[in-house]
Amino acid sequence: MSSIYRLEIQYRGTRFSGWQIQNSGEVTIQGELEKALHQMAKGEVVKTVASGRTDAGVHAFAQVVRVEFPFEIDPEGLKKGINSLIDRDIKIIKAEKCPEDFHPIYSAHSKQYRYYFSINSDIPLFYRDRIVYFGDDLNIDLMKKACQQFIGEHDFMNFYTTGSNVKTTVRKISKCELIPFELHDLGDAQKSFSGYYLKIEGNGFLKQMVRMIMGALVQVGKNKVTSKQIDDSFKHKLTQPLAATAPAHGLHLNHVEY
């Protein structure tokens, strides 16, 4: 008899073609996870569902995954077993049994992302696949003010990749702020490096929505997009996006609330 488990997973998305298994056979996080589960299930196929399908290059601090395993297994044993088999850039940080009706997407109340960036081009080597340099000419105060415009319920018709199948482009954002961070260079403990991250939380996100919001905020910081243009983008479909989509490697899925 099958058992349902909820996993929390961390991954560094740099070498993967996103979360979802691809028909082209590219290496994905879901593919690597199901390959490890297949071995643990003695050759049986094990299907997984995640809270969101992160794009190529995107990272996760706590992706949530539903696993239907063909037989009952101790959750701690499941966690350790997967970690012993899976790619080194993927780690199971928690495993627990859960109700059969648990669904990572539909059971979620909110989701939080972080986007890490810097105005210092000298990003330490070991963080270059996690932090984006947008130039040293950003007006951070203007960007912080613009963050407030995204809070609340809005139509994000201009902040997602068209072609994705959605019923509505209206989403409710509860948090949107820029927070400074400081870290130490792994190669030199005496050397520190600072930057910012966008913390954004909402009841759901459209495809590439956070990266497009980040892109718009960068243009605000460069005095190329105004607060009025952001307000107008919630009311009318634009012929051109406000800004280029921010690179994938700065984005991290931080937390999913149930």
136 is catalytic: no
Query: Nearest CA to 63 among 51, 55, 75?
Result: 51
How far apart are alpha carbons 50 and 67 in whole angstroms?
9
Candidates 55, 136, 137, 188; catalytic one? 55
- Sequence-distant contacts of 18-21: CB under 8 A, at least 24 apart: 18/53, 18/54, 18/55, 18/56, 18/57, 18/58, 19/50, 19/52, 19/53, 19/54, 19/63, 20/53
How far apart are alpha carbons 98 and 18 in whole angstroms?
26
Answer for the pair 41, 94: CB distance below 8 angstroms, yes or no. no
DSSP state of 181: E
How far apart are alpha carbons 31 and 78 in whole angstroms?
17
Active site members: 55
